[in-house]
Each structure stands twice: as C-alpha cells, then as structure tokens.
C-alpha cells in the first residue's frame, strides 16, 4: 500500500507492486498465473507487460508468468470479496486520520491479509518503452505480421525460454489456437537489458487545491496527525513549514515511508 504523497495509482504503481510480489515469491514457484480484469489503464497495457517481463528476468527460479484477462461480464475476482471484507471492517472501525490507519485496518480485517508498504519504492517501467534509447518499443504488429490490438488480447505469457523482450499472447482461450508473439525489442535479434529507474526522485506532489482542502479539515483530525498533512508536497514544490513542537508525535514516517 502507499498514499498519494508517495505515488499515483497508474500502471507504474501497479507494476511496481506486482514486481515486488513476484521477486519475493518462494524459489520453488516456477509457474505463476495472474488473473486480471480488462482495465486498460492499470492492468492491460504495455507498462504492466514490461513490469512482468522485468520481474521474470530478475526472478531466476521462475520459468513462466501467465497473465489472463477475464471475459467482460464475468469479471468477479477473489480480491472483490476481499474489498468487501475491508469495507465491512471500515464500518466497525475507529476514525481514520492518516494512511497508517488504513494500513492497520486492512491488517486487522482478516488473518489472511498482510500489508506491504510500497512507499516510494516504485519503478518507471514506462521509461523502458519510451525515449530514443529505450530497450523496448510499443509494437502494433506481431512477429507474424498480424495487427496487434491490446483490447483483443485475453492471455499474455512470459517465458524464460523466449528472448527477453518477446512475449507470447492469445486472443482466444481455445486450445486449438496457437500462441502468437510480440517482439518489443527496439533492435530485433539483439540482447536486451531491463533496468528500470525510480519512478520518483522525491515525494509525489499533490495539487495545491487538494492540499488546501485537506488543511481546511484539520480541525476534524487528531492534532498529532497534522504534521503529516502539512508536510505533503504540492505542485509548487514547496512544503508548508512544520511546527517542531508536534514533530515528535507526528506520523510522517509511519504513514508510508517505513
């Protein structure tokens, strides 16, 4: 988990969470299957594809990563039930003042839940696809010269026995259909190195308007938590001065930078 002062909620952030999950899998796991909905901005795109490709390359004991997409109209996932459990816990919980309270709420919602703080440990996988020197590029044609359309893809398969930069895919779950291949390497028939840089050089900045709204509601927040909101960076790049008298009891570090 992370808060907006540490990162957004786009493909880079989802990809970073998946990357961390994958590289921390037990070494005996050789085949990972991920089921995703068809949300293009967060799950079904080149950035997530690159994140999975990078994770497989780093996790040497893993041989295959399958990402399968649910059919529209049949998109209920296990995590949807988890969200309901969290919402029910929220109804019975104490007041929430800072992100750390959300982290603790989720931890306590179910014994099966564990919370890992992503903080600013996020990678810019998009950078591996853009720019003159990026190792990968966005392709619109498969290796068989067929048009590649993301919305038609139902199955992506990353294999260790494929050259890094090439991903197998299907547009049907039929066993009769073979996999096609997408070569994302900038220079085909060449080796690729995937070393993503940090997504943020510092704190993620929120809008000035949003910060003003937050500060206007501080009278509803525990005084010990005020420092967290004053310290949020805005688009102007300036953080409000923090009263040193409340720093010792603040939750700035505990709220997401653990």
The pLDDT of 131-143, averaged and rounded, is 92
Beta bridge partners of 185: 136
Reported pTM: 0.84
The pLDDT of 253-258, averaged and rounded, is 38
Taking only the tens place, the pLDDT of each residue in 12-58 is 999 999 999 999 999 999 999 999 988 888 899 999 999 999 999 99
Q: How many other C-beta atoms lie within 10 A of the C-beta of residue 213?
A: 11
Taking only the tens place, the pLDDT of each residue in 169-218 is 999 999 999 999 999 999 887 889 999 999 988 889 999 999 999 999 99
Phi and psi at residue 75, to the nearest 5°:
-110, 20
The pLDDT of 126-149, averaged and rounded, is 93
């Amino acid at each position: 988990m992370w808060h907006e002062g540490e990162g957004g909620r786009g493909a880079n952030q989802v990809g970073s969470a998946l990357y961390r999950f994958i590289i921390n899998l037990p070494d005996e796991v050789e085949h990972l299957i991920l089921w995703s909905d068809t949300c293009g901005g967060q799950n079904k795109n080149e950035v997530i594809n690159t994140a999975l490709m990078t994770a497989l390359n780093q996790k040497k004991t893993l041989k295959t990563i399958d990402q399968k997409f649910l059919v529209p109209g049949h998109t209920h996932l296990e995590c949807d039930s988890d969200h309901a459990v969290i919402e029910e816990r929220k109804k019975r919980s104490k007041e929430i003042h800072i992100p750390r309270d959300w982290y603790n709420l989720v931890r306590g919602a179910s014994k099966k839940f564990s919370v890992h703080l992503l903080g600013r440990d996020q990678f810019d996988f998009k950078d591996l696809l853009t720019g003159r020197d990026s190792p990968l590029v966005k392709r619109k044609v498969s290796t068989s010269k067929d048009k590649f359309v993301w919305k038609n893809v139902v199955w992506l398969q990353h294999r260790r026995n494929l050259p890094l930069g090439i991903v197998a895919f299907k547009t049907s779950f039929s066993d009769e259909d073979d996999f096609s291949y997408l070569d994302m390497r900038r220079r085909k028939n060449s080796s690729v190195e995937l070393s993503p840089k940090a997504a943020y050089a510092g704190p993620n900045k929120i809008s000035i308007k949003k910060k003003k709204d937050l500060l206007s509601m501080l009278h509803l927040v525990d005084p010990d938590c005020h420092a967290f909101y004053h310290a949020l960076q805005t688009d102007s790049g300036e953080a409000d001065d923090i009263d040193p008298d409340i720093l010792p009891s603040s939750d700035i570090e505990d709220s997401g930078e653990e």
